[in-house]
């Protein structure tokens, strides 16, 4: 029997509700493949602030580092909104990404056929197909650059810095091109090269890396245009390669297009197989603990974990197929509910998926 140590961070809001279901699903699929997962639960975000006064305790970092992969729920909530920047729950996310060196964030946005009507876009746009992957640089740029708040000539002033070096751009560009090779072989690199120096270096470097992937078609778009194109014709995109801040914004837009953000998983990875896996959606504190949150994005994050970090693609396919079966059978959580389907809660949805494995 194989054994893997998995760090589990339920976090805040609906995090604990949905991660519970994902852990059950992983355990079940583990039995099928003669694999034991040793889940080690640790705290981060508001949960850790309440327990230790620190959003990212060293113990959490250490447990993650000594694991094969990390499964994360969500962090943050209004309870901690008034804390100073460096003490907020979101710091835990940025801190974990940085400490673990997770420079590549892969955020797929795909419209499930049975959930097509959930998309806010017109049918004729959706019918062209939406199946894209945002590859976001995750540990550089303005979210990690120099920052400060100071008085300049008696006026309170704040600044943040967008800064990238060639090596940082190269490695994330390679992630994007490699992903594209497994998909439809198209990369759209997104920047603001008409204004920003950091973007001009980005574009030049991406063009260099592209030479190593002659089969992949590369184009460049400005970020404002990309925001527009995503709603005008999302089918034109395969892999979107971009920096930390643009990727943050565009991945939210891309997930909204699918209409079912409660279904979307993401991975944050580096060169080796280690990674952190989490739903794209946030902690939804307003529905926490009510057993109504959609656990599917979390369950699909577990599938991604199996595939990328543990090399268990068959088990991952099993989970994905189970989710599709449950949707095809007409079960929906409140966020994706439409008339004529059957509404179920978090635990029930988890159980239905489990039964299909």
Enumerate binding residues for ligand IPM (CB under 6 A): 90, 93-94, 248
How many binding residues for Mg ion (CB under 5 A)? 1
Q: How far apart are CA 215 and CA 317, in angstroms?
A: 27
Query: Cβ neighbours of residue 155 under 8 Å, at least 6 residues apart?
Result: none
Which CB, 89 or 350, lies closer to ligand IPM? 89
Residue 224 a catalytic site member: yes
* Helix, strand, coil percentages for the chain (3-state, nearest 5): 50, 20, 30
User: Least distance in Å: CB of 267 to ligand IPM?
Assistant: 12
Q: Does 137 bind Mg ion (CB under 5 A)?
A: no
Select the residue whose beta carbon is closest to Mg ion and give its number.
248
Residue 248 a catalytic site member: yes
**CA distances (Å), origin 288, targets 7, 89, 119, 138, 309:** 22, 16, 24, 27, 29
Q: How far apart are CA 285 and CA 299, in angstroms?
A: 19
Q: Does 278 bind Mg ion (CB under 5 A)?
A: no
Q: How far apart are CA 106 and CA 186, in angstroms?
A: 15
Q: Does 162 bind Mg ion (CB under 5 A)?
A: no
Catalytic residue among 62, 81, 224, 286: 224
Catalytic residue among 47, 248, 318, 335: 248
Which CB, 7 or 250, lies closer to Mg ion? 250
Instruction: Convert 308-330 to b/e letters by CB count within 10 Å (16 or more is b).
Output: bbbebeebbebbbebbeebbeee
CB 89 within 8 A of CB 253: no
User: Least distance in Å: CB of 248 to ligand IPM?
Assistant: 4
Q: Choose the one of Mg ion, ligand IPM, none that binds residue 93, judging by a C-beta under 5 to 8 angstroms depending on kind.
A: ligand IPM
Which CB, 55 or 57, lies closer to ligand IPM? 55
Which CB, 126 or 297, lies closer to Mg ion? 297
CB 279 within 8 A of CB 13: no
Among 109, 165, 105, 98, CA closest to 133? 109
Q: Choose the one of Mg ion, ligand IPM, none that binds residue 324, judging by a C-beta under 5 to 8 angstroms depending on kind.
A: none
Q: Choose the one of ligand IPM, Mg ion, none that binds residue 111, judging by a C-beta under 5 to 8 angstroms depending on kind.
A: none
Residue 131 a catalytic site member: no
Residue 143 a catalytic site member: yes
Question: In angstroms, how far is CA 294 from the centroid of its own chain?
Answer: 16
Which CB, 115 or 250, lies closer to Mg ion? 250
Interacting positions 240-259 with Mg ion (CB under 5 A): 248
**CA distances (Å), origin 60, targets 9, 75, 265, 297:** 9, 14, 22, 23
Catalytic residue among 192, 238, 308, 335: 192
Which CB, 28 or 88, lies closer to ligand IPM? 88
Q: Choose the one of ligand IPM, Mg ion, none that binds residue 83, judging by a C-beta under 5 to 8 angstroms depending on kind.
A: none
User: Least distance in Å: CB of 251 to Mg ion?
Assistant: 7
State the distance between the two ends of the chain, measured CA to CA, in whole angstroms.
19
Q: Choose the one of Mg ion, ligand IPM, none that binds residue 94, judging by a C-beta under 5 to 8 angstroms depending on kind.
A: ligand IPM
Angle of helix 166-181 relative to helix 197-210, nearest 10 degrees, comes to: 50
Select the residue whose beta carbon is closest to ligand IPM and give its number.
90
Q: Choose the one of ligand IPM, Mg ion, none that binds residue 90, judging by a C-beta under 5 to 8 angstroms depending on kind.
A: ligand IPM
The token duo for 202 is: 């980005």
Site string for Mg ion, 201-240 (x = CB under 5 A): ----------------------------------------
Which CB, 31 or 286, lies closer to ligand IPM? 286
Angle, vertex CA 76, rays to CA 345 and CA 254, nearest 5: 70
User: Least distance in Å: CB of 148 to ligand IPM?
Assistant: 19
Question: In angstroms, how far is CA 284 from the centroid of its own chain?
Answer: 16
Q: Choose the one of ligand IPM, Mg ion, none that binds residue 68, judging by a C-beta under 5 to 8 angstroms depending on kind.
A: none
Q: Which residues are catalytic?
A: 143, 192, 224, 248, 252
């Amino acid at each position: 029997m194989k054994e893997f140590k998995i760090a589990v961070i339920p976090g805040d809001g609906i995090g604990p509700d949905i991660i519970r279901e994902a852990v059950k699903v992983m355990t079940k699929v583990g039995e099928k493949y003669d694999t034991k997962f040793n889940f080690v639960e640790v705290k981060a975000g508001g949960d850790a602030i309440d327990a230790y006064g620190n959003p990212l305790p060293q113990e959490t970092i250490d447990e993650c580092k000594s694991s094969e992969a990390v499964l994360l729920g969500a962090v943050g909530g209004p309870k901690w909104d008034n804390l100073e920047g460096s003490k907020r729950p979101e710091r835990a996310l940025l801190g974990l990404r940085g400490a673990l060196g997770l420079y590549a964030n892969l955020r797929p946005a795909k419209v499930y056929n049975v959930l097509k009507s959930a998309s806010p876009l017109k049918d004729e746009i959706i019918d062209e197909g939406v199946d894209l992957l945002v590859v976001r640089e995750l540990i550089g740029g303005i979210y990690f650059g120099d920052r400060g708040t100071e008085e300049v000539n008696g006026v309170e002033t704040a600044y943040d810095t967008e800064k990238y070096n060639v090596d940082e751009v190269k490695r994330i560009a390679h992630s994007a091109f490699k992903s594209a090779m497994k998909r439809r072989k198209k990369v759209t690199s997104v920047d603001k090269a008409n204004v920003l120096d950091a973007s001009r270096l980005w574009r030049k470097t991406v063009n260099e890396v592209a030479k190593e992937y002659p089969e992949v078609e590369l184009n460049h778009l400005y970020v404002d245009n990309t925001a527009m194109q995503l709603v005008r014709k999302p089918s034109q995109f395969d892999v979107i390669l971009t920096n930390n801040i643009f990727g943050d914004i565009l991945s939210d837009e891309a997930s909204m297009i699918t209409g079912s953000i409660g279904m979307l998983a993401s991975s944050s990875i580096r060169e080796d197989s280690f990674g952190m896996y989490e739903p794209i959606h946030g902690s939804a504190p307003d529905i926490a603990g009510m057993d109504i949150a959609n656990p599917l994005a979390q369950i699909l994050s577990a599938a991604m974990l199996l595939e990328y970090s543990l090399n268990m693609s068959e088990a991952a396919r099993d989970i994905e197929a189970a989710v599709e079966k449950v949707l095809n059978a007409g079960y929906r959580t409140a966020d994706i509910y439409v008339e004529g389907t059957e509404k179920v809660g978090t635990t029930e949805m988890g159980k239905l998926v489990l039964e299909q494995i």
